[in-house]
Structure 1
Amino acid sequence: MLIGDVLLAQNLVTHEDIKIALHRQKENGGRLGDNLVALGALTQEQLEKAIYEAPRAPKSIEDTGIPGGNLLRILLKLMYANTLETASELSAAIKLPIGVVNRMIQEAGDRKFLESLGNADQSTFSETRYVMTEAGKRFTIEALEQNQYVGPAPVSLRDYQARINQQKITNEWVEQKKIEKSFENLVIADDFVRRLGPGVNAGKSILLYGPPGNGKTTVAEKVAEIFANVIYVPYCFEVDGQIIKVFDPAIHKPKFTSETDKRKNSGLRREEFDGRWVPCERPVVITGGELTLEMLDLSFNAHAKYYEAPLHVKASNGTFIIDDFGRQLVSPEDLLNRWIVPLESRIDYLKLHTGKSFSLPFDELVIFSTNLSPDDLMDPAFLRRIPYKLETVGPTREQYYEIFKIVGKGRGLEITEEILETVIEELQVNNNFDLACYQPKFIVEQIIAACKYQGSDPYIDKELVVDALKNLYTTSAKGAGKTAAKSGNRGKSTPAVAAV
């Protein structure tokens, strides 16, 4: 990993800044970071902070924190599985500096596992090519029988624990203006954002509850998107000789680009930082009814003989959203009991299949979202451990109209007072349904689909609205078919949030 990669990942410089600085570096020498400071692309303080936060590349096998024998097994497995021949190819695969890899190659040669095939012409420089001996192949096959992990070298448990603590989510202070801006495209009450903001900065758990369709999931996702700091996620870590994979492309979003990758072959100030760590955005894990207790424990692959980290470990230093809480396959009581200790002590304990236990810092913003009654789901002891509890209720008539107009405008439809009256009459006069924030979008999408079926440009009239509303609920739904009118504001508190 290069200093340019780190600075780009943290949005401190641009690709153009790097290009100009590389040109200056060729002419004047010096470090890339110093050249960027000289050009005014960033300050010395910003450079030093970025260097301090990024993991430094190990200079020796001992610096990796992993036993040399374990690293040698991974190196030979990579060579065997991917037909790698040179030190630079092995360095790129195992994510360790070429100096460390050369020492491992020397050890493999001393043990008669590798032999030289001469030099490989790389146009600008030449490298020695290596091939496995029969003894090396036997050793590698035995290593594959122990576990079939083939990939970047792991980091140590101690280094992973320290890294989680170093990049805590509470280290990132989110300004009030930034939180307000992230919710500016929602019809939302000011007091809701005012109460939500402290919870976001505290990094403690948040409970969002209220009737369905009023923006709980939208709020949770907006909160997760607020954070901007770069964190470093290991490809895997090692505990007692066991490999536990952490980096998941489906969850972790690297801060590298194709242009960044191309520069890795430039040969300028290479390996300044530890390539076993991937600079990423703070992760966001969203799970719903599919969540089970097993998903919160280490997953051991009996065939490959290594572990996959549980969801909440992959969410470390980020946000873990439990949507539709109370509708999981596991009972709410069992799920809450599993998390009482981590939420209280901010430490989680995991166990290997060998019986070995270890701890990891529990650092993430946990958001519970439910449309069930919290008092029915949680006992007072657990509710006490969730310091921020926010209710989302249905919109007033005015807010409902505002949402309707915004959604309609986005699809080329003009929503008039007459259309609103038709909706209110169908929902609350002819039936007894509450207004909900999701309904305008549902109605508009139904109308657009009907216009497409008719082969016409989008338009809206009473007939299309009534047809759309018939798809909103079934005739047997609670409140269907009643004639008693209900005021949109009667007995309602000011709504908290309305998702557009």
Structure 2
Amino acid sequence: MNPFEPSTVPSLAIEEKETFRPRPANDFATAGLNSAQIESLVLKFLLNFGNAAGRRIADELGLPFSPFPEFLRHLKNQQIVTYTDNASANDYYYSLTDTGRARARNYFDECAYVGTAPVPFESYVASVAAQTIDAEQPKMADLRRAFSDLLINEDMFQTLGAAINSGRGMFIYGYPGNGKTSIAERITRCFGTSIWIPRVISIEGHILKLYDPASHEAMRPRRGGLLRMDDQDDRWIEIKRPTLIAGGELTMENLEISYNPATKISEAPLQMKSNNGTFLIDDFGRQRMQPIELLNRWIIPLEKRYDFLTLANGKKIRVPFDQLILFSTNLEPKQLVDEAFLRRIPYKVNVTDPSESIFRQLFEIFGPKLGFKSIDQAAISYLVETHYLGVNRPFRACQPRDLMLQIRNHCIFNELEIEMTAEYFDIAVGNYFTVM
């Protein structure tokens, strides 16, 4: 099959899985927070910021303003904070007293985290269940939409559709350059557009950072003050369904909770960050660990849909394992793992070389995007007959784009019109296939 053939809990209000949205809490208790947690976050923020209005403090913690006046008044009565000025809407500016600064430093020694208040772990678990990919059942129209910028044949659609609906693991294998990674990156689009995740989670007294701007794409910027939305809990953030990609750099440490002993802050592992989305292990078999080690680590998660992670204090916790795991490799799956593991990854998709007709069609698709005003079929025929058929070189789906990029760069540098000619293809082939 060829992918390039053209185709004819607290503060959670869960109504329906596809309309999940975290609602704001009315007070700290319904937000799953106690007074000590709120005090720690408030004092550490004021120690860093110096002076802030109560509404600014509430926005920083991602919580409603209504319970803060009374809470801050209580801290003032204890001589931990003091008023420095009046603010709008019956609010005040606050700063720390000497006693408050000393207490804030003690809180910093316990944990250096400053920012949005954490969401209880139980609420996070409930949110994953409410947004599970198991509840998503993509149809053919969803696949065509997700893969609209790739050429996918009908047989491939049938295989991918069944595999995606399974919600289980999938091997995507074949020669390099034929679009395995491109296919994997688009699979997430079949599961709907967005999900909600907590920025930070509170678990067994530990702070666990989940939202990662390097891994997650926010749907909209966070708004505070008078522009703040009242129908959502700002401790959560709406992101595009995640697609995490780990290549040869992946190690076993990336799959465990990372703890910083200096800051006392933990960070979620990759598979937890990919919950409700897709996790692609690219170039599987080329990691620094043996393939069997990785699959041994995931025997239970792949079957049971949950994982066990270890906190800094040594306690194990059970976390959701709710994503489609994809293994992309240039090798045959049976060369990497035994039959027992292949059974746990039920779908194997072979991404084969494109045919000559599809190879030619790829020039027509990529040409206009790269600045070619016309597609010279005679020049393409020269390329195919001289540099492919004539030397028994296999077609790869990435090569039309790569060769045209070579021509484009040559023409721009020499201030020439960007066009396809036999001479330009000779130059591009000479550069591109020197050691291939």
TM-score under structure 1 normalisation?
Answer: 0.79
Q: Distance in 2 between matches of 1:472 and 1:324?
A: 22
Q: Distance in 2 between matches of 1:103 and 1:286?
A: 46
CA contact (8 A) 2:272 2:320 kept: no
The residue that corresponds to 1:225 in the other structure is 189
The residue that corresponds to 2:433 in the other structure is 473
User: Which deviations, in whole Å up to 9, do the C-alpha atoms of 1:418-474 show, x marking residues without a partner?
Assistant: 532433332232x33211111111221111222223321022222221222222323
Tell whether 2:417 aligns with 1:457: yes
Q: What is the Cα deviation at residue 380 of structure 1?
A: 1.1
CA contact (8 A) 1:408 1:415 kept: no
Question: Per the alignment, in what secondary structure is the counterpart of residue 226 of structure 1?
Answer: helix
Q: 1:457 to 1:77 in 2, by over 3 A?
A: same
CA contact (8 A) 2:18 2:131 kept: no
Q: Distance in 2 between matches of 1:394 and 1:446?
A: 21
Tell whether 2:402 aligns with 1:438: no
The residue that corresponds to 2:11 in the other structure is none
Q: Distance in 1 between matches of 2:56 and 2:96?
A: 15
The residue that corresponds to 2:7 in the other structure is none
CA contact (8 A) 2:79 2:100 kept: yes
Q: 1:151 to 1:191 in 2, by over 3 A?
A: same
Q: Distance in 1 between matches of 2:166 and 2:208?
A: 29
CA contact (8 A) 1:325 1:368 kept: yes
The residue that corresponds to 1:299 in the other structure is 258
Runs of 4 or more above 4 Å deviation: 47-52
CA contact (8 A) 2:363 2:375 kept: no
CA contact (8 A) 1:317 1:364 kept: yes
Q: Distance in 1 between matches of 2:393 and 2:47?
A: 65
Q: 1:457 to 1:68 in 2, by over 3 A?
A: same
User: Which deviations, in whole Å up to 9, do the C-alpha atoms of 1:186-217 show, x marking residues without a partner?
Assistant: 23221001110122233222210001111101
Q: Distance in 2 between matches of 1:73 and 1:246?
A: 20
The residue that corresponds to 1:168 in the other structure is 132
Larger Rg: 1
Q: 1:377 to 1:84 in 2, by over 3 A?
A: farther
Q: 1:424 to 1:108 in 2, by over 3 A?
A: farther
TM-score under structure 2 normalisation?
Answer: 0.90
Structure 2 gap segments, 5+ residues each: 1-13
Q: Distance in 1 between matches of 2:339 and 2:69?
A: 59
Q: 1:73 aligns with which of 40, 49, 69?
A: 40
Q: Distance in 1 between matches of 2:15 and 2:125?
A: 23
Question: Per the alignment, in what secondary structure is the counterpart of residue 52 of structure 2?
Answer: coil
Q: What is the Cα deviation at residue 356 of structure 1?
A: 1.3
Q: What is the Cα deviation at residue 249 of structure 1?
A: 1.6
Q: Distance in 2 between matches of 1:188 and 1:279?
A: 30
Tell whether 2:376 aligns with 1:415: yes
Question: Per the alignment, in what secondary structure is the counterpart of residue 33 of structure 2?
Answer: coil
CA contact (8 A) 2:277 2:323 kept: yes
Question: Per the alignment, in what secondary structure is the counterpart of residue 129 of structure 1?
Answer: strand
Q: 1:152 to 1:185 in 2, by over 3 A?
A: closer
Q: What is the Cα deviation at residue 106 of structure 1?
A: 3.7
Identity over aligned residues, as a percent?
A: 33
CA contact (8 A) 1:423 1:465 kept: no
Structure 1 gap segments, 5+ residues each: 1-46, 478-500
The residue that corresponds to 2:171 in the other structure is 207
Question: When the two structures are aligned, how many residues end up with a matched partner?
Answer: 421
The residue that corresponds to 2:10 in the other structure is none
Q: 1:331 aligns with which of 290, 301, 325?
A: 290
Q: Counterpart amino acid of 1:335?
A: L
Q: 1:136 to 1:184 in 2, by over 3 A?
A: closer
User: Which deviations, in whole Å up to 9, do the C-alpha atoms of 1:269-300 show, x marking residues without a partner?
Assistant: x6343211112221121121111111111111
Tell whether 2:395 aligns with 1:428: no
Q: 2:233 aligns with which of 248, 251, 274?
A: 274
Q: Distance in 2 between matches of 1:55 and 1:273?
A: 6
User: Which deviations, in whole Å up to 9, do the C-alpha atoms of 1:99-123 show, x marking residues without a partner?
Assistant: 2333432442343312334522x3x
Matches within 5 A, 1:80-479: 80-120=47-87, 122=88, 125-257=89-221, 261=223, 265=226, 271-410=230-369, 411-417=372-378, 419-429=380-390, 431-475=391-435, 477=436
Q: What is the Cα deviation at residue 51 of structure 1?
A: 11
Q: 1:136 to 1:409 in 2, by over 3 A?
A: closer
CA contact (8 A) 2:376 2:421 kept: no
Q: 1:194 to 1:84 in 2, by over 3 A?
A: farther
Q: Distance in 1 between matches of 2:309 and 2:180?
A: 31
Question: Per the alignment, in what secondary structure is the counterpart of residue 399 of structure 1?
Answer: helix
Question: Per the alignment, in what secondary structure is the counterpart of residue 64 of structure 1?
Answer: coil
Q: Counterpart amino acid of 1:275?
A: D
